[in-house]
Structure 1
Amino acid sequence: MDTNKSQETTSRLISDDVIDLRQYWNTINRHKWGIFGFAIVITMLTTLVVFSMKPVYRAEATLLIESKNANVVSIEEVYGLDAGNSEYFLTQFEILKSRQLAERVIEKLNLIDNPEFNQPPGVIASTLSSVKALLPLGVQPEVSEEEQARIKLQEVTTQLIENLTISPIRKTQLVKISYDSFDPLLSAQIANAIGDAYIENNLEARLQLTSKASEWLMERLSGLRDKLKTSEQRLQEYREQEQIVGSDGGFDIANSELDLVSSKLVEARRERMALESLNSQIKRLDKSNPENFELIPAVLQHPLVQSLKGSVLQVELKKSELAKRYGPKHPKMQAAQSELENARRSLNSQILSVVNGIENEYKLALSAERSLQAAVNKTKQDLQSINRKDYRLKELEKEVDANRQLYDTFFTRLSETNATGDLQSANARVSDPAQPPQKPAKPKKGLIMALAFVVSIMFGVMFSFLLEALNNTLKSAQDVENKLDATMLGLLPKLPNKGKNHHQSYTAYLQEQQSAFAESVRTIRTGIVLSALDNPHKVLCCTSSIPGEGKTSLALNLAFSLGQMERVLLIDADMRRPSIARAFGLSGKAAGLSNLVAGTAKLEDSIHHDEQSGIDVLPSGIIPPNPLELLSSRRFAKVLEILETKYDRIVIDTAPTQAVSDALVLAPHVGAMIYVVKADSTNHQLARNGLKRLKEVKAPLIGVVLNQVDIKKAAKYGDDYSGYYDTYGYTAEEQTA
């Protein structure tokens, strides 16, 4: 059970995360007439407002702003100006919207006295002025005529700037000057006047810039001339002091000498290292035995040593041949031995000579290396001295070159500025003058009305979603299962209103056996019967959250449907607001349940038989002062036990759970309890609290019945109730056929 419950909870959470677009569509479809009505009303109001507005005309003039001036002399270069960037154009756009240009146009066109700039104040402004006049703000100071004129100029300037629009055209040097006015001719005049005022203002600014530049250049030129002479004198004095000759001061010669001596030093070091290795080998050997030096390759490979070595070998070969024929004391053997000794002495003498020569060469190489190293060090010192002089020389030369270049630049600019001061040209021109527009630019009536309709539709949809979110009632079987976590036993469709019969649901089952309402009652009956086949629910109790949800109607029609198959007793246990007796046409003073439990009436007198439905009815009887104590008494339990022996099924109509506790008291005595909820009316939290109270007393709740469901509306808006009721029935025509 716990596993199944956890699986159901998991599946419900997964389904909650899925966006059901059909539910959104059903919400919109349910409120569509309200949405369209709201949209139509808003659109009509917008139409009235739009057609009452005064038309505004817009004239456009196109101005070409050149990024580079057409001047013969580029005076901006003196100040380091760069007109080729985006900041330049953004600056020009702000100048076009400046108050200075606006005041030029106002003065040129005399807009102070123009009727458009002297409109009477509106209703809101007039009201505010009246309120300010009534408020105790103290005595206002008198304003002079000059101050009034200044304030008026500011107001007109502000109004002109508000109606002015500057729109640059992307990737071009063109900008559109647009002005909105009630007068088409005035809008064109102001747009053209703005462009002309910008050109005139630019020319005046350039003339002032040229004049100021000439004055500044003259002041700077005299100081630059003295600075250049001073730097040239310092350069010449330094050359004479350091005895510098040539352009580089001997740097190239010293550098070449250093390269040559360095290469010689590398060769001498390489030769010294080779001789040092031989010398070290020689010093490890004893000179008294020259034959040891034959192991040194440099000695052995010497040509004289190799020649003498060959002579020794020949003599030894000769001696060995003679030894084969003669003895050691033979004269020939003695002569050969003497010859061998002479050859050996000559070889040893030559080996020693080669060894001494290697030692002398090593000493000479070491001496040469030291001499070259000293020469390199001296050359480096000389080169460093030359570098220090050259560094200072370069500094002085750069100073002279910079001063001369700056002097030449200023001199050239001064000459050009003085010579071409009158050749200034504007950086802009009007490429397309504004023409008086033929049609108003705003209000765009069609667009405004369309936008009003679309926006009102959107607000209507949002409001419908808000209403749907705020609606916490139970409308469908899905709401019963999800919000109440209860079993859906069935539903009863809403009956059409017929005249003054406010309780037509009491007799709807008997009067229309083939109607959808009757089929719904039979579906509920079937569900009750199938819920306990082995141990049928003999005592059924109908209750609800609050009065008016249809528990009495369900009890009546359920008793009627069960009465067609079994012997049924209908008990009215709602002793606070009884209605069963009135439904069957019984008197309010007729004996009933209260009389039977109290013992003031017999069973035969308290039970009334209805001939039309075939069931027995036990009305509430006389309303007691303490109904709860009566229902919780032992006598009531005894009476219920006796009635169970006489009837196959007992249906009890009791009071709502949220009003009183009668249903909670009856719960231990009944076999099944049915909870009735009115569709699209009952608060789901209220119903949930009622079910919670029943569960706390372990009431045998078998399901919930959703009452007064608008079937046509539910089918139209996409709600699905299949499986809970059967609308299939037979009409009179079909039966005849």
Structure 2
Amino acid sequence: MSVPGMSQPDVDIDLGRLLKAVWDRRNLVLGLTAAAAGLAFLVTAMIDPLYKSETRLLVETREPVYSSDQNPQSAGTALDERAVTSQVEILQSTDLVKQVARELNLSSRVEFDPAANPSAIGDLLVMLGLKKNPLDVPAEERILKEFYSKLSVYVIPGSRVIGIEFSSGDAELAAQVPNALVDAYLAFQSGAKLENNTDASAWLEPEIARLREKVRESEEKVAQYRSQTGLLLVNQQDTIAAKQLSDISTELSRVRAERADSEARAQSVRNALRNGQAVDAVSDVLSSPVVQRLRESEGNVRAQIADLSTTLLDEHPRMKGLRAQLDDVEKQILAEIRKVLSSLESNARVARIREEELTAQLNALKAGSAREGEESVELRSLEREAAAQRDLLETYLGRYREAASRTEPKSLPADARVISRAVPASESHYPKTLAIVGVAAFATFVLASVGVMLAELFSGRALRPSEALLREPELEPSAAVAADDDATEPSVEPEPALELLPVISNVADDFSVEAVAEQLVTDATPVAICVSPEGDEGSAAAVMLARTVAGEGLKTLLIDLTGSACPTDLMAESARLPGLTDLMCGDIAIADSIHPDRLSSAHIIPHGNANARRAMRAIDRLPMVIDALQEVYDLVIVECGSAEAAAVARIARSENGEIILSILRSDLSEVEQILAEFNEQGFHDVLLMTPGMPTGPVDNHSSAA
């Protein structure tokens, strides 16, 4: 029947132990660090230095200062991100690279064609067929491949600036290559514009000649049509017929106005005469000189009549003569008024006749205007065609003159300009000796320290049980022994005097696990009985002791005699493995009770699965088992937990064995009491093991009185 697996107990990592392990092996760590730093320095000293230089180029739309197509607002929209990326590809084009390689004679440099001088090892690999012969590749391709490996062209983010970097073992060459590449690129851009202008000029010349002929033919058609249809212009806009129609219309309007005015004035005079009204208010009558003189004569006669009427009677001859003269003047005035009326009526008749004549002429011109309108439509069509041909000719002429003026490369600036030229570098770009040595030393130091820490972790010496595990209840074998023997509760004995204490046999004032392990290894101790008055915390120290001794290369076995099975939880793969209780009950053989430690090379006999009380009845067999195990293992550690000295005495019979007291936090009085109990059982030499010194001084060489 298989035993179900159980989860492994939680353990804590002892950081102090890890740091102490690194400090103890500081010579190894520092030695490896120094060796790595020296090796890195030698390697960097053997590497040929590389120098890097950079040229920067601003991509922007550029036109000659005399160009009429300059538009600063369109530059930003014309050169977007894709346009700048296209310029990067042009800078890396094979044609430009080949041109620069020829100008700088790069084929003569070993740096750009290392295959031209192959090494003996390379020739051997080629002969064995393990490597392709590099000379099978054309020299130009080899140079281009090496050139591209040293060239870097990139766009600076957020701008239209292109950086051209080049690295070389020669600082001068590292600066010459990007500058030469930029010059070739600018010349390429200007040449492309010049080629465009040349092509445009070659295409425009025959087109201009053809358009001139078309313009001449179109203008001839317009002139012939005007002559045939009589649509001759008297000014820039009007034809003869249109001008005549306009003039007659104006004259007709004037004649009608004169006629109406003459008829109105004649009617006013006629009405005044018919109604017997005074005609002096009529302007035509008043403006007549004869009427004006007659009115003056009438006034003089009336004045004389009025003057003589005061002295003469009406029948007086003088009075009669004056009245006869007055009548004659009035008749003359009336006759003159009739003459004015006749003149006005005559003017009205003449105006009416003139109006009729002009109306007849206007009607005749209107009849001809309809025909002329139809002819004007065709004329305007011919004029539009001629104007379109003329405008196109003028446009072509302007473009041709502009293209003809750009016949020199300098007159066509490239759409880019250099904002920073490369200069020879004063320091090498690679290798950075100080940085490489520092990184190598630091990395080696870290790796060496990590290696030491991992060794401590895998050996288990840097692990300790968690606080939760240490708080678990335990059942000590001493209690089982007491129950088996039906012993009564021991009486409290008085505190022993200091002179009755056994000797603490630590060779130095160091009670750490490492010091105790070193003493056991040095003394070749076969058996160590560990007692942990404080329970599982001391048992965890015993586990660390076993792993530390195993780490020194000794075959180590730990026997779990505790009631809580703390060592089993810390070392065994499962808490249900057969162990000591099964062995004591006779259920298994010794070999079946031994299991490997899961974190070190040590072995363990775990607590077991049989009844503990039954197993304790055969506790007297344990010394024989320990003696048998000494034949196989260099050191057998028996962890008894918080057992009493009397219980320990039942199994500690070996004269070569050691009693180890694992103390963590007990004060001096408790330590003295425990030592007194062991002294009473005949144990006069005790090893003290504790991570820290107990409270109060301890005499390392105290002896019994």
Query: Smaller-chain TM-score range?
Result: 0.3 to 0.5
**TM-score in terms of structure 1 length:** 0.41
Highest Rg: 1 or 2?
2
**TM-score in terms of structure 2 length:** 0.42
